[in-house]
Amino acid sequence: MWELRLGDELDDFCVKCRRLTNHLVVSLVDGKAAKVRCRSCYSDHDYRKEQAPPSKKELAKQKELFNAVLAGIAPPEIDLEAPLEIEIAAAIETSGEIEAAAEPDPPAPAPAKKKKR
């Protein structure tokens, strides 16, 4: 079996050249190319097994999926307390009206003057 060695040439997809180019093996792991250097632009990168990286469209789709999963999984009750308190505190700081509105039953401002008999 053909053994890969440092300095060997192989084809790989170069992100900078955006195409398959000749690469030199600069790092080996378990006898397999781990890092390669493009012979056209001399940039080092992980060996991609000649696979082009996912396009922006694919990445956007993945991100969308990821966010959807996150939204579905995220437990609504966990860790909401602390940031919520901060938010409320910030809201009160910015407008004092919220504090008054938050109190359901404001105590009567009883200016009860004791009448002397």
Q: What are phi and psi of 68, to 5 degrees?
A: -60, -45
14 lies in the site for Zn ion, by CB under 5 A: yes
**Residue from 40, 62, 67, 95 that binds Zn ion (CB under 5 A)?**
40
Toward Zn ion, which CB reaches closer, 48 or 91? Answer: 48
CB of residue 48 to Zn ion, shortest distance in Å = 12
Q: How far apart are CA 77 and CA 30, in angstroms?
A: 46
**CB under 8 Å to 41, separation ≥6 — which residues?**
14, 16, 17, 21
CB of residue 86 to Zn ion, shortest distance in Å = 48
Toward Zn ion, which CB reaches closer, 40 or 62? Answer: 40
